[in-house]
Structure 1
Amino acid sequence: MKALVTVAKGKVEVQEVSKPKLRDGHVLVKVKAVGLNPADWKNIDNQTTPGMRVGLDYSGVVEELGNGVTQFKPGDRIAGWVCGGNRLQPESGAFGEYTIAKAALQIKVPDNITDEQAATFGVSLSTVAQGLYKVLSLPWPNSPAPAPGPPILIYGGSTATGIYGIQFAKASGLTVLATASPHNFAYLRDLGADAVFDYHSPTCAADIKAHTANKLRFAWDCSGHGAAVCAGALSDDEEGARPRYATIIPIDRAQVESVNPRVDGPHFHLAYCVLGEQFEMAGKKWDVDPKEMEHAEKVLRLVPGLLERGVVRPVRTIGGEGKRGLEGVVEGLDELRGGRVSAGKLVYTL
C-alpha cells in the first residue's frame, strides 16, 4: 500500500509500505478520503523520527474486524480518526490506502453523507464530545436545555471544530455566540449561531458581555488563542456559579485571572486522550483515563442520527477533492501551515 511517511523533521513523502497489522478492538479500513487538520503539519514539523505514518481524519470502508469488534461488519462505511504521527504506534496514520482504527470511536456513515463530507468528522467530533459534554458538562443533544437555553461563547467559530461545536451546542438547546472574521459571519449564522462577533475588534469581549447582559457562564476556545476575549466576555458577577472556560491549548492561569478572576479555568483538554491508550506528543508520553474514551463513545453514538435528521451538517470541504490523492495532501499541508484555510476543511479523495 501507499502511505504518507515521515522522512525527516518537517518532511514527508509517499512511500510503499506494508498494511498495518490489525489489533484487538480495531478495524482495518480501506481509506476513501482524508481530511487535514493543523495537528497534522504540527506533528510532522515537530517530528524527528523517520518512518512514521501520519494523518488523523479519514473515511472509508471496513475490510476486516479485530477481536472484540461487534458494532461494525465488513463493507460498512465508517469515518473517524487515528493517532497518526505517534512514535509509540508508527503504523498508525490516516494518510494511506489502508488504516487501522479503534472501533469504539468510529462513526457509521449515513447514506446522505458523502465520503468527502465524512472525512471532516474525526478529531473535531471527539473534541466536541470532550469539550462541550465532559469539561463544560452541557446538556446533551438528546436531552437539550429548555428554551431559551443559557448562552455559550465558541471562540474560533470558523475552525472545523468550532463549526461542529456551534451545531452541537445549538442541538443541546443553548444560545450560541461565536467569534470569527466578518466574511464568515453569514455561514456561522446559517449553521445556528445566534450572534457572531469579530475577534479582531478591540471591543469584542465588551460587546459580548453587553450582548449577554453579563450572564455568560460558558466559553469554549477552539483555537487556544482566545483567553483574553473569553475571560473578558464571561460574567464577573459575584453571585451564582463561577463561569467556566475550556480550551484546546494550555493557557497560563495568570492570563485569565488578570482579566477576570471570577473565571473557573482555563480547563485544557486534548482529544488524543479519548483514544484510550498511551501516546507521545512533543517528546512526552501521555497516559490516558479509560473513562475519556467511554464518554466520547457515548456522545459519538448520537452522531449518525443527528446527521440523518440534518440537525448537524458536515463542515464544508475545500481544496483538492478527487484530484491528487496523497500527493495533494502534501500540498494541502503547506496550505494549512500558511494559515490559508478557513471555514472549511481540506479533503482529498484517494
Structure 2
Amino acid sequence: MKEAIIDKTTTVNIRDVDIPAPKQGQVLIRVVASGTNPKDWKLPIWSSEHIMNQGDDIAGFIEEVGEGVQKFRKGDKVAAFHEMMSPHGSYAEYAIAWEHTTFHLTDKTSFEEAATIPLAAMTAALGLYQEMKLPLPWSPAEKRTPLVVYGGATAVGAFAIKFAQLSNIHPIIAVAGKGAPFVETLISREKGDTIIDYREGDEAIRSNIKVAAQGPIHHAYDAVSEKGSYVNLGAALDAPGRVNVVLPAEEGAKIPDGISIHRTMVGSVHNPPAEGQVLGDKEFGAAFFQFIGRGLAQGWFSGHPFEVREGGLGGLEGALKDLRAGKASAVKYVVRISETEGVQ
C-alpha cells in the first residue's frame, strides 16, 4: 500500500509498505479521506523521532477487526482518531485505530466532512469538559457561564463553540480575525455571544473581553496558543481563572496571580486512567466519540468546513505547507486517498 511520510522540511515522501494487521482491540480501516492538522508539520520539525506518517483523522470503511472488537465488522462506514505518534496513521491506504476511538457514520455524513472531526473535536471536548469541568451537553448550564474561545475560526475553536452551544454555555466570547464571518454562523447573539477581532491589538482584546463578559469570567479556551494569546486571556480573566492551551506556554509568560494555564493533550484518550482514578480520559473519549456519531446522524452536530486538495497523498505536501504558511482560515484541508497516483 501507499503511505506518506512527512519530514522536518514539510516534504512528503510516498512509499510502498505492507498493509498492517490490527492487534487486539484495534480496527483496520480502508482510508477514503484523511484530514490534516498543524501538528503534522510541526512535530517533524521538533524531533527526528516524529518523521513518520502523521495522519490522525481517519474516515473510511472497516477492513478487518482485531481480537475482542465487538462494535464493528468489515464494511462498516466509520471515522476514527488514530493514536498519535504510533505507526499506521491515516496518510495511507489503510490505517489502524483503537475500537474506543472509532465511531459509526451514516450516509448523512460524507467521508470528507468526517475527516475534519476526530482530533480537533476531541481536543475541544477534553478541554471544556474533562479539564475545565464545564457542564456537559446532557446536563446543560442553568446559569450564566461566560467562556472565551480564542481562535474561533480554527477547527478546535469552532468545535469548542459548537459544544458550548450544546451545553447552554453563554455568553461565548469568540476571538477571531478574517474568519469572523464563519464564526458568526456558530454563535447566538441573542444569548449575549459576540466576536472580538484580535487584530485590534492586545489592550483592545483584554478590555473587550471584560466588557463582553458583563461580569466575572473564569474560563478561556485558547485554540491558537501563540504570539501571546494566553497572556491576553490571562489578563482578561478573573481569579480563580483557567486558560486551556493547545501548545506549550512559554516559560516566564506574565500571568496574573490566581490564573492558571493548562495544556490540553488529546493523546490522553489513549491512556489508561491515572493512578487512583477509576475512569479517565480514555473512557470519556470512548463515550464522547459515540455522542459525536449520534449528533452527525441526527443532524445536531456537524464537521468543519473543508477543502479537498487534489492528488490524494500527492497533494498532501502542498496542504501542509499552506498550513505552515498560515493560509488556512475557517477551513480544514482534506485528501482523498483514492486520488493518489498508483492507488487502485
Measured against the shorter chain, the TM-score band is 0.7 to 0.9
How far apart are the structure 2 equivalents of 1:39 and 1:50? 10
How far apart are the structure 2 equivalents of 1:316 and 1:201? 26
Farther off after superposition, 212-221 or 158-167: 212-221
1:33–1:59: 8 Å Cα contact kept in structure 2?
Answer: yes
What letter corresponds to residue 326 of structure 1 in structure 2? L
How far apart are the structure 2 equivalents of 1:110 and 1:151? 34
2:28–2:97: 8 Å Cα contact kept in structure 1?
Answer: yes
1:217–1:244: 8 Å Cα contact kept in structure 2?
Answer: yes
1:11–1:45: 8 Å Cα contact kept in structure 2?
Answer: no
- Distance change (3 Å), C-alpha of 1:197 and 1:50: closer
* Matching of residue 294 in structure 1 with residue 294 in structure 2: no
2:34–2:336: 8 Å Cα contact kept in structure 1?
Answer: yes
Aligned to 1:282: none
How far apart are the structure 2 equivalents of 1:50 and 1:262? 36
Aligned to 1:159: 154
Aligned to 1:123: 119
2:82–2:101: 8 Å Cα contact kept in structure 1?
Answer: no
Aligned to 1:243: 241
1:30–1:99: 8 Å Cα contact kept in structure 2?
Answer: yes
With structure 1 as the length reference, what TM-score do the two structures score? 0.86
How far apart are the structure 1 equivalents of 2:135 and 2:266? 20
* Matching of residue 312 in structure 1 with residue 307 in structure 2: no
Q: CA deviation at 1:342?
A: 1.0
Aligned to 2:185: 190
- Distance change (3 Å), C-alpha of 1:79 and 1:122: same
Q: CA deviation at 1:220?
A: 0.7
- Distance change (3 Å), C-alpha of 1:50 and 1:217: closer
How far apart are the structure 1 equivalents of 2:51 and 2:121? 28
User: Which consecutive aligned stretches of 4+ in structure 1 deviate over 6 angstroms post-superposition?
Assistant: none
How far apart are the structure 1 equivalents of 2:141 and 2:297? 22
Q: For each residue in 1:59-90, what CA deviation from the matched residue of structure 2 results, as whole angstroms up to 9, or x when unmatched?
A: 01001111121122211111122135x3xx4x
Gaps of 5+ in 2: 338-344
How far apart are the structure 1 equivalents of 2:22 and 2:196? 46
- Distance change (3 Å), C-alpha of 1:17 and 1:170: same
What letter corresponds to residue 19 of structure 2 in structure 1? K
* Matching of residue 342 in structure 1 with residue 329 in structure 2: yes
- Distance change (3 Å), C-alpha of 1:245 and 1:47: closer
- Distance change (3 Å), C-alpha of 1:262 and 1:52: closer
Q: For each residue in 1:96-122, what CA deviation from the matched residue of structure 2 results, as whole angstroms up to 9, or x when unmatched?
A: 000010110122123211000000012
Farther off after superposition, 217-226 or 184-193: 184-193
SS of 2:179's equivalent? helix
1:179–1:198: 8 Å Cα contact kept in structure 2?
Answer: yes
- Distance change (3 Å), C-alpha of 1:60 and 1:214: same
Aligned to 1:18: 18
2:10–2:321: 8 Å Cα contact kept in structure 1?
Answer: no
* Matching of residue 100 in structure 1 with residue 96 in structure 2: yes
Farther off after superposition, 305-314 or 166-175: 305-314
RMSD: 2.2
- Distance change (3 Å), C-alpha of 1:145 and 1:42: same
2:173–2:212: 8 Å Cα contact kept in structure 1?
Answer: no
Aligned to 1:221: 222
- Which of 312, 319, 323 is matched with 1:332 structurally? 319
What letter corresponds to residue 219 of structure 1 in structure 2? A
Q: For each residue in 1:237-280, what CA deviation from the matched residue of structure 2 results, as whole angstroms up to 9, or x when unmatched?
A: xxxxx1222111222575253xx3232x1011211222227xxx
How far apart are the structure 1 equivalents of 2:286 and 2:33? 22
SS of 1:33's equivalent? strand
Q: CA deviation at 1:297?
A: 1.6
How far apart are the structure 1 equivalents of 2:169 and 2:141? 7
1:167–1:311: 8 Å Cα contact kept in structure 2?
Answer: no
Q: Number of aligned pairs?
A: 324
